[in-house]
Chains A and B, each alone.
Chain A
Amino acid sequence: MTQKNRKATELHKAAHLYARECRNGKLSRREFLTRATALGVAAPAAYGLLGLTGPAARAQTPQMGGTLRMQMDIKAQRDPRTWDWSELANVCRGWLEYMVSYERDGSIQPVLLESWEANEDATIFTLNVRPGVTWNNGDTFTASDVAHNIERWCDASVEGNSMAGRMSALSEDGKLREGAIEIVDDLTLRLHLSSPDIAIIVNMADYPAAVVHPSFTGDDPVGNPIGTGPYRPVSHEPGIGAVIERNPDHTWWNEGNGAWLDRIEFLDLGTDPSAWMAAAESGEIDLTYQTTGDFIDLFEMVGLPSSEAITASTLAVRFNQMQAPYDNVNVRRALQMAVDNAIVLELGYNDLGTVAENHHVCPIHPEYAEMDPPELDPAQARAMIEAEGLADHEFELISIDDNWQAATCDSVAAQIRAAGINIRRTILPGATFWNDWLNYPFSSTEWNMRPLGVQVLNLAYRSGVAWNEAGFANAEFDTLLDEANGIADADERRVVMLKIQQIMRDEGVLIQPYWRSLYRNARPNVLGAEMHPTFEVRYQHYGLS
């Protein structure tokens, strides 16, 4: 390799650029941290660029020991790369760690990697593996373990492997591209991307990217708990609960900075929040996994204060463009035009978030480009529907029976109805809904947040990708997205992003009413367990005071 490495102390050029933008108020501090750390700038250095010191690690150090009981769904386990629920990952976080982690403040922190750096055009990434990490079976964690995991992620032949899409810049024909990974020595490797991808490191923080031992095969990370973390599972019963305890036979690389608790008990109390409430009242749980709606206040009332995470999570009320009448852009635009997103936020989600603009890029995303709010004109909407000859057509909006999702869709449908367009609401129970949810002509999908704006667009709206239930296919959009994926510079990317957002809007891809804030309620003596924007439950850092 002749590529000139930047020294570890040398900061990526773009990072300085970001810092200037942040100081000029063009970039929020949160956005700055996400972007700068994704380029390999350590978080303290990133704070330093702004002339700030990093936030104090912990106001209060938790005491050693204790048992924490948390309400969370426990589902049957499967191969980590095929995980489709954050809960599946959360149970295993005590022993399966990640290369990097996405923090509440929006920064990317090293975990099993010690540092990483990108070349100028984000096509070559050098990863430095953290020295002194051992697996709990005694093996040393090395660069070849990292390579093994990346190879696993690239294997698209495994049904439901969602990491394959995230690693597309490293793969070819559904598996790792020859020469994509170069192992330099035991603690260093280099990734050669086929196209620039600024999200490659951030993707390694996503929950299916848990790092497993080379001996791991099959479907059960709980039955065979070899990992690098400080905990180990004691029991795991889907639908009932799981118990995790500190592993006494293993020295954790990060000893002294966590693993405070002796034991974590997850209780699966079903989906009814009133059952969680009863459990909290009788002292059977210390914290909830996620609280929504009226229950946030109710839990506070009984002595469990809430913590909030501002996120780019949302509900996408999407049309499926493959199916009539939604294959007609005027119909989609008309329905969008009939809906006031602010009202949906208020009635559908108790105003617990911020209004969104129908293009699925969030103001907290680094590359978000400011736009006028979407057009709102119910009379025009009605006229457009009539012009398409659909005045008597009955539209149907299908949603799952989940509380806030149903309320949101109710509110969308009510406004469409108020504009004088016939619409029927159908609410299906989970068992029926999931059967055919990708094919409903007009329905809603819950989207969790991704740190960068391009990430969700890559996953959900690129032509023909697996998660594109909107059926959106637009060559210009794809080209622009490819371009944006390779632009590390914020302003430059924002220029492209504006075009992308405009296409999303013009094509009437979805009604996207709001960005959700997430809440969790915990007893006052629980430390470090604030709600995380991507639902992470890193219980190795939780503790009791």
Chain B
Amino acid sequence: MLLFLARRIGVMLVTALCLTFVVFYLTNLPAKLETLAKTQAGSRISDAEVVSWLERNGYNQPMLLRYGEWLGAVPGWTREADDGSITGRCYRLASVTEPGAAPVRCGLIQGYWGNSTRFRADVANVISARLGATGMLMLWVLIVMVPMALLVGVLAGMREGSRTDRSLSTFAIASTATPEYVSGVVFIALFASSAVGLSPLLVSWGVIEGPVLFQGNARSALEKITFWNFFLPVMTIALYGMGYVARITRASMTEVMTQQYIRTARLKGVSFGNIVLRHALRNALIAPFTVIMLQIPWLLNGVVIVEVLFSYPGFGWVLFEAAANNDIELLLAASVVAVVVVLITQLVSDIGYVYLNPRIRIT
């Protein structure tokens, strides 16, 4: 078990290293650095000013050296100003100017995530705040999606080819075939517009007080989540993921239902409900469990569209902003977080297998 964990963590570190280097390389191409200088110092600055800005901010060194600085393996750059005060990577991160007051190395290894140029704030703060927001969204999506998907999948799969199966399968396929940017817009038109859809009808019947049934904008959910402001974004993501998980569950369930031991149980006279719940369910859940675990990293990075559509600033939104503004250190940190989340969920799903299927062992 320990060896297994160690190996997994080793893989995680190597993956993170490779991925961050690729991200670092792509964001540090000369043209990208020029964009950065222009967004930072004014879009109308001259080429000479771009060069001087890059030099003053330590972007003029070789790329490998700066990657090392970011990692914390190489000492951070420093420069002495005319008045004797010192600036440098580590001086800025620690916000000091006296010579010698800052650590020599300040990278990921030392716990410095760097500064976001887009948000002018500590990357660690930006990431943690946005990760928290997406965490809430993911939590509610999972709470809605997982039970619904399992229920639909199990109901459809327990009698293959029945009318229930056909109708639930159609629903699942339709929901997973509708991308978020379609369902989100349809939902807003249907529930969150005072001119079209359900809301004007409900208002004229006197069922709701406000102009709209649900809010088509989830910004207020940052401060306080309510049923009304969170329903649409959660449903938009949950419906899309739901159909997929339900299809996997159904496939797995139908297969289990044809197994010999199920027939034996039936012949013994066990009730159908008992067969499904006590004998089939646990075995049928192995495949959906992996898929649900895979959905978590997908949720983390795949919610960009929904977060932008509903103006809910979460992790997907931060990734979008960082990429659009070439925010190097923020993108790197986001990659690290993404790698960690993917590998942790995979770890959990591998360990979870052992409990669902005693035949599998971790060695």
A interface list, Cβ under 8 A from B: 76-77, 82, 84, 159-160, 162, 220, 237-241, 267, 269-270, 272, 274-275, 277-279, 281-284, 301-303, 429-431, 434-438, 466-467
Contact = CB atoms under 8 A, between A and B. Distances in A.
B325 interface: yes
B35 A76 contact: no
Given A84-B43, A238-B118, A269 B321 contact: no
A435 B31 CA distance: 7
B298 interface: no
A278 B210 contact: no
A434 B35 contact: yes
Interface in B1-51: 31, 34-35, 38-39, 41-46, 49
| Interface secondary structure of B, over-half rule | loop
| 6 closest cross-chain pairs (CB), A and B | A160-B42, A278-B216, A282-B215, A279-B217, A76-B120, A278-B217
B212 interface: yes
Contacts of A279: 216-217, 219, 311
Contact of A435 (B38, B42, B195): B38
A160 B45 contact: yes
A438 B211 contact: no
A269 B311 contact: yes
A283 B211 contact: yes
B119 A281 contact: no
Contact of B217 (A239, A275, A429): A275
A301 B194 CA distance: 9
Contact of B210 (A267, A283, A303, A436): A283
Given A84-B43, A159-B45, A159-B49, A270 B308 contact: yes
Interface in B191-247: 192-195, 210-212, 214-217, 219-220, 222, 229
Contacts of A274: 188
10 contacts: A159-B52, A239-B118, A239-B317, A269-B217, A269-B311, A272-B309, A277-B216, A281-B211, A282-B212, A434-B43
Contacts of A434: 35, 38-39, 43
Contacts of B52: 159
A299 to B, nearest CB: 11
B231 to A, nearest CB: 12
Given A160-B41, A160-B42, A281-B217, 6 more contacts: A275-B311, A279-B311, A281-B211, A282-B212, A283-B211, A301-B195
Contacts of B91: none
B120 A281 contact: no
Nearest to A271: B308
Contact of B313 (A240, A302, A430, A431): A240
A466 B44 contact: yes
A281 B192 contact: yes
A309 B117 CA distance: 35
Nearest to B308: A270
A284 B324 contact: no
B183 interface: no
A281 B193 contact: yes
A80 to B, nearest CB: 12
A301 B196 CA distance: 11
Contacts of B315: none
A468 to B, nearest CB: 10
A270 B309 CA distance: 9
Contacts of B119: 76, 237-239
A82 B313 contact: no
B216 A281 contact: yes
Contacts of B323: 431
A303 B35 CA distance: 40
A435 B53 CA distance: 15
Contacts of B210: 282-283
A387 B39 CA distance: 42
Contacts of A437: 43
A295 B339 CA distance: 41
Contacts of A82: 41-42
Interface residues of B, number: 45
Contacts of B45: 159-160
B83 to A, nearest CB: 13
B252 interface: no
Contacts of A238: 118-120
A237 B120 CA distance: 9
A278 B192 contact: yes
B44 A84 contact: yes
Contacts of A283: 210-211, 215
B190 to A, nearest CB: 12
Contacts of B326: 431
B289 interface: no
A270 B324 contact: no
A435 B42 CA distance: 11
A330 B6 CA distance: 72
B132 to A, nearest CB: 13
A303 B212 CA distance: 13
Contacts of B118: 76, 238-239
B211 A239 contact: no
A77 B311 contact: no
Contact of B324 (A220, A272, A430, A436): A430
A477 B80 CA distance: 45
Contacts of A160: 41-42, 44-45, 49
B113 interface: no
A237 B193 CA distance: 29
B310 interface: yes
Contacts of A277: 216
Contact of B309 (A275, A284, A429, A436): A275
Interface in B72-120: 117-120
Nearest to A301: B195
B194 A281 contact: yes
A492 B194 CA distance: 56
B310 A275 contact: yes
B307 to A, nearest CB: 10
A160 B215 CA distance: 41
A155 to B, nearest CB: 14
A436 B31 CA distance: 9
B254 to A, nearest CB: 41
B327 to A, nearest CB: 10
Contacts of B117: 76
Contacts of A436: 31
Contacts of B310: 275, 278
Most A CB within 10 A of own CB, among B45, B119, B195, B217: B217
Contacts of B325: 431
A45 B46 CA distance: 44
Contacts of A303: 194, 211
Contacts of A281: 192-194, 211-212, 215-217
Contacts of A269: 217, 219, 311
Contact of A84 (B31, B34, B42, B321): B42
A417 B257 CA distance: 66
Nearest to A161: B42
Nearest to A84: B42
A437 to B, nearest CB: 8
A238 B193 CA distance: 28
A238 B327 CA distance: 13
Interface in B290-324: 308-311, 313, 317, 321, 323-324
A284 B215 contact: yes
